[in-house]
Homo-oligomer: A and B are copies of this chain.
Amino acid sequence: MGLAEGGVPVASIIVHQEDIIGRGHNRRVQEGSTVFHGEIDALENAGRQPAVFYRDCELYTTLSPCPMCSGAILLYGIPKVIVGENQSFMGEEELLCPRGVEVDVVQDKECQEMMKQSIADKPELWNEDIGV
């Protein structure tokens, strides 16, 4: 969806006890946003919740989470993160793991190909998105 909108193709969902309670994708191009990465968008769309709620959540993301998104995972204490791939971009997995977050990297070929192509097509956009 993000790719079709001309955006950075990173998306995320938040699952609470098997229900998807938040969906999001990167909004840099679509809304001129510097903070709505896929994970942040999914968190925002999940709405206000008490802390205990997040302890029963899992966050799925197509790409290894950047420092901001990893920080959001730590802030809310989401205990498990399922990552589509970390070959296009290695996020802050080494920050998450020692703090008790289970990080499961799937290395999904579709996620890898989509990111690889997107970075090749629009390197300036990608660099802007990761502050490089």
Contacts and interface: CB of A to CB of B under 8 A. Distances in A.
Given A72-B71, A75-B67, A40 B47 contact: no
Interface residues of A, number: 34
B48 A44 contact: no
How many copies of this chain?
2
A68 B28 CA distance: 18
A66 interface: yes
A47 B40 CA distance: 16
A28 B48 contact: yes
Interface of A: 28, 32-36, 40, 43-44, 46-51, 54, 66-72, 74-77, 92, 95, 127-128, 130-132
Given A32-B48, A34-B44, 10 more contacts: A33-B44, A33-B48, A34-B43, A54-B131, A66-B71, A67-B70, A67-B71, A69-B71, A70-B71, A77-B131
